[in-house]
A and B are shown apart, each in its own frame.
Chain A
């Protein structure tokens, strides 16, 4: 088992290195160079040259890549060209803000998804199951901005005026100082993520419930409740962990749209703004951050899969 995990870990590191090269090359392809973006229309050749020198834009590409990649390890993410301050200082509070959204959304959708999926599997074919399946199917088909706009129209602007539609916390205050502003973005994320978890949990549970060992437990007279909770659910969690991982990883990228829609001051909004401003350092750092979360979450899901899969466990025991 340890060997498998170590191998997964090594693969993850290689993937991150490849991603870093791709991200670096992709930002080189963005039209317009940062020095010109900063100086704008007042760019004279002399000022451009001086600034390029100062930003090491005249160094060979591999050298720029190495100094950037090396910087990531020691927490030096470079300087934001739009604001002139360090990328770390710019992104720090925004990362916290985005984490708040994601963690709360995950904490709600994972248990709800597992519970609703299990419920659907047990009550397979009945009205409640049909309703849940139908709703989750529709929600799964809708992009996040449609769900977000629907919620805004329903709860904030048109039908009812219950909740704020955009985040407007004054600079210096935390987003959680105004909890009502968090409700709509979080509900949107939950509605986007949960249906997949429900559907996967339901399908896996149905499979497990039909399998021999649950049947055996029932025949031995284990109470139904215990048969489900103690025997069936743990076996269903392995495959579902993969889906949950993908969903959580999606949250990191999908949050861009949600933040944009709700004017939420997180990494997503920062990324959109940075691309507009050709703020290459910020784009690079954020892309790496999002890639890293993807890789780490998938790694964790793999580990859960390895730990809960009896076949893989026995292979190691050999």
Chain B
């Protein structure tokens, strides 16, 4: 079957802008008679010094430096460079020690012990101790003012300081995946007397100046515990409100690196000989969410039919410009327990029609799909889906709202909509979005057997046993769940070739997971 043409929408502003850029790049090639002398990327030992200017979109007037309240991309970038967590997810999305040398669990998974590094000092020169760690988690879980990470720490009963460099986390109920929370960027360790007005952490950089919605200037933390790092003297994070402005800023050399470029522009931007594009496979997903408690999705045959109506390969091609991998209606592809053996779901119009007929919709059905530009490609995905579903007799009426409305009063209440999630492992993802009482249960998922399996898995320390339980839980989602998970996107960033030290990173966060401690500038630019 030939691929469908993209849905015929009116020429949107963004499309026109994209076309303008393409034309511009074409003009450049004509003007130069082919790419100018290839610029070599720096090699060898990292060089010290220099100033890295990073452009990011997504911030605004409500930007913050608070270690525990990061909301948007620029907040996260600041957070990761100012503060550090006990553990962190490395480039391969494996939980790795950071401020803790190791974190161990008691046999019943109710007490977790973190052994802290002894060589860590805060920006103001004081050493980090167990007291600071305890105070940090007290601040995050303050019942009067819970912070972003509190939702993942509901199991936490108390934090006991067991020594200068040893801390115990006592849980209310066993949780074999508790260490995941210790690796979340919103749970950075701060001093016991932390005040967000004087943001002090242990990160590779410290605050020099900060203007919400405009720019943040960070200086090197001279007593950083990792030998030699960071290499940069200064890190500048600039807020942009528009994809076009940010790409232009890179191409006119006003910034050195930009996060998250539209996937459709990777080729155009990469064709500039001065620029490198960094592509990372991620576990980020943009599902369609069907409420399983609302008509027509309360019938699992309808949900299955919708899943069979999707041409996943075409979605990846058209929405992500081919930069992604197809999904199988299950999340957490980097979790060791991810079920790779379940048959890959493909478009099957006949079966979809049959399921719809069985469910009492022999003539197809009409649904409203609520979409918003919540993430690059979201609206396009809705449009492509509407086209594909038509063949199965599903008439999709797209209702486009702005992001603020989407995440407003009706968020988590839409009958059929979309959402966006970064890379996560299975159990943390369930706790965020699929557990019965999860804070973001968009599909209103409720399944006794699933809940039991998850509870079982949460208690199970033995990894092999736990993974088998997770696989069973995943099978239920695969068969009956309310998500259409059609793919996982790549993440593309762009930077000037003299910027070194950026590597592909699976977390879904831009520019190597924002780990600018590893970045250095080559040649005359340092």
Is B214 within 8 A of A166, CB to CB? no
The answer, yes or no, to whether A50 is at the interface (CB within 8 Å) is: no
Shortest CB-to-CB span from A184 to chain B, Å, is 10
Interface residues in B138-170 by Cβ distance below 8 A to A read: 146
Asked if B62 contacts A36 (CB within 8 A), the reply is no
Docked-complex contact B60 and A159, CB < 8 angstroms = no
A166 to chain B, nearest CB (A): 5
Contact A165 B248 (CB under 8 A): yes
User: Do B211 and A149 touch (CB < 8 A)?
Assistant: no
Residues of A within 8 A of B31 (CB): 159-160
Q: Which of A37, A168, A263, A265 has the most CB of B within 10 A?
A: A263
Given contacts A83-B212, A149-B244, A276-B404, contact A165 B20 (CB under 8 A): no
Tell whether, in the assembled complex, residue A269 and residue B241 are in contact, meaning their CB atoms are under 8 Å apart. Answer: yes
Q: Is A165 touching B409 in the complex (CB atoms < 8 A)?
A: no
Distance in Å: Cβ of A31 to nearest Cβ of chain B: 5
Neighbouring B residues of A106 by C-beta, 8 Å: none
Q: Is B367 an interface residue (CB 8 A)?
A: no
B60 and A32: CB pair below 8 A? no
Q: Among the listed B21, B62, B240, B404, which residue makes an inter-chain contact with A263, where contact means beta carbons less than 8 Å apart?
A: B240
Residues of chain A lying within 8 A (CB to CB) of residue B212: 83
B404 touches A168 (CB 8 A): no
Contacts of B62 in A (CB 8 A): 82-83, 277
Which positions 6-60 of chain B face chain A at CB distance < 8 Å?
13, 16-17, 20-21, 23-25, 27-28, 31, 60
A36 partner residues in chain B, CB cutoff 8 A? 408-409
Q: Which of B251-259, B310-318, B356-364 contacts A (4 or more CB under 8 A)?
A: B251-259
The answer to whether A32 touches B20 (Cβ under 8 A) is no
Task: Establish whether residues B245 and A261, one from each chain, have CB atoms under 8 Å apart when the complex forms.
Answer: yes
State which of B23, B242, B247, B408 has its C-beta within 8 Å of the C-beta of A32: B408
| A158, A272, A277: residue with the most chain B Cβ atoms closer than 10 Å | A158
Given A149-B17, A168-B238, A263-B242: A279 touches B61 (CB 8 Å cut-off): yes
Q: Are B146 and A42 in contact (CB under 8 A)?
A: yes
Q: Contact mask B311-346 → A, CB, 8 Å, 1/0? A: 000000000000000000000000000000000000
Contacts of B27 in A (CB 8 A): 153-154, 158-159
Contacts of B248 in A (CB 8 A): 152, 156-157, 165-166
Closest to A42 in B: B146
C-alpha spacing A263/B401, complex, angstroms: 24
- What separation, in Å, do the CA atoms of A305 and B408 have in the docked complex? 49
CB distance from A266 to the nearest CB of B (A): 12
Q: How many residues of B contact A (CB 8 A)?
A: 45
Query: A170 at the A/B interface (Cβ < 8 Å)?
Result: yes
Contact status of A277 and B211, CB under 8 A, knowing A145-B13, A166-B248, A263-B242? no
- A202–chain B nearest beta-carbon distance, Å: 30
Which residues 147-178 in A have Cβ within 8 Å of B in the complex?
149-150, 152-154, 156-161, 163-166, 168, 170-171
Chain A residues with Cβ below 8 Å from B146 are 42
CB distance from A247 to the nearest CB of B (A): 22
In chain B, positions 215-239 with a C-beta closer than 8 Å to chain A are 215, 217, 238
A262 at the interface (CB under 8 A from B): yes
From the candidates B17, B249, B251, B439, name the one contacting A158 in the complex (CB within 8 A): B251
Return the CB mask of A264-281 against B: 1 if under 8 Å, else 0: 010001001110111100
Q: Is A80 an interface residue (CB 8 A)?
A: yes
B146, B253, B404, most chain A CB atoms within 10 A: B404
List B contacts of A261 (CB < 8 A). 242, 244-245
Q: Is A15 interfacial (CB-CB < 8 Å)?
A: no
With A and B bound together, what is the CA distance between A182 and B211 in angstroms? 21
Nearest Cβ in chain B — how far from A152, in angstroms? 5
Is the CB of B104 closer than 8 A to any CB of chain A? no
Least Cβ–Cβ distance between B170 and chain A, in angstroms: 26
Q: Give the CA-CA distance A108 to B329 in the complex, in Å.
A: 59
Residues of B within 8 A of A146 (CB): 16, 20
Interface string of B380-424 (1 = CB under 8 A from A): 000000000000000000000111110011000000000000000
Q: Output the least CB separation between A212 and chain B (Å).
A: 49
- What is the distance, in angstroms, from A303's C-beta to the closest C-beta of chain B? 37
A170 in contact with B61 given A153-B20, A161-B253, A260-B242 (CB within 8 Å): no
Contact A31 B214 (CB under 8 A): no
Residues of A within 8 A of B241 (CB): 260, 263, 269, 272-273
B440–chain A nearest beta-carbon distance, Å: 9
Return the contact of A171 from the options B13, B211, B247, B252 (Cβ within 8 A): B211
Across-interface contacts of A269 in B (CB, < 8 A)? 241
Q: Could you say which of B238, B245, B408 contacts A31, with CB atoms under 8 Å apart?
A: B408
Is B213 in contact with chain A by the CB < 8 A criterion?
A: yes
Q: Which residues of A contact B405 (CB under 8 A)?
A: 31-32
Decide: A276 and B252 in contact? CB cutoff 8 A: no
CB neighbours (8 Å) of B71 from chain A are 40
Cα–Cα, bound, A274→B241 (Å): 12
Q: Does B209 contact A (CB under 8 A)?
A: yes
Contact B25 A158 (CB under 8 A): yes
Which of B61, B238, B409 neighbours the largest number of chain A CB atoms within 10 Å of its CB? B61
CB of B16 within 8 A of CB of A158, answer no
Q: How far is the CB of A153 from chain B (nearest CB, A)?
A: 3
Q: Which of A33-52 contact B (CB under 8 A)?
A: 36-37, 40-42
A161 to B249 Cα, complex, angstroms: 11
Rounded to whole angstroms, the CA-CA distance of A260 and B25 in the bound complex is 22
Residues in A neighbouring B238, C-beta threshold 8 A:
168
Q: Which residues of A contact B215 (CB under 8 A)?
A: 168, 170-171
**Considering only CB atoms, which chain B residue lies closest to A279 in the complex?**
B61
The CA-CA distance from A170 to B254 in the complex, in Å, is: 12
Collect the chain B residues with CB atoms within 8 Å of residue A145's CB. Answer: 13, 16-17
Q: Which residues of B contact A272 (CB under 8 A)?
A: 241
Judge whether B245 and A263 touch: CB under 8 Å.
yes
A273 close to B404 (CB less than 8 A): no
Q: List 23 A-B contacts (CB under 8 A).
A: A31-B408, A32-B405, A37-B408, A83-B62, A83-B212, A149-B244, A152-B24, A154-B24, A157-B251, A157-B252, A158-B28, A161-B253, A165-B254, A166-B249, A171-B211, A263-B249, A265-B214, A272-B241, A274-B61, A276-B402, A277-B61, A277-B62, A279-B61
Known: A273-B60, A277-B60. 19 other contacts (CB 8 A): A31-B401, A36-B408, A37-B408, A83-B62, A149-B20, A153-B20, A153-B23, A157-B252, A164-B254, A165-B249, A166-B254, A171-B211, A262-B245, A263-B245, A273-B213, A273-B241, A277-B61, A277-B404, A278-B404
The 7 A-B residue pairs with the shortest CB-CB distance in the complex, in nearest-first order: A153-B24, A157-B251, A158-B24, A171-B211, A165-B248, A32-B408, A158-B28
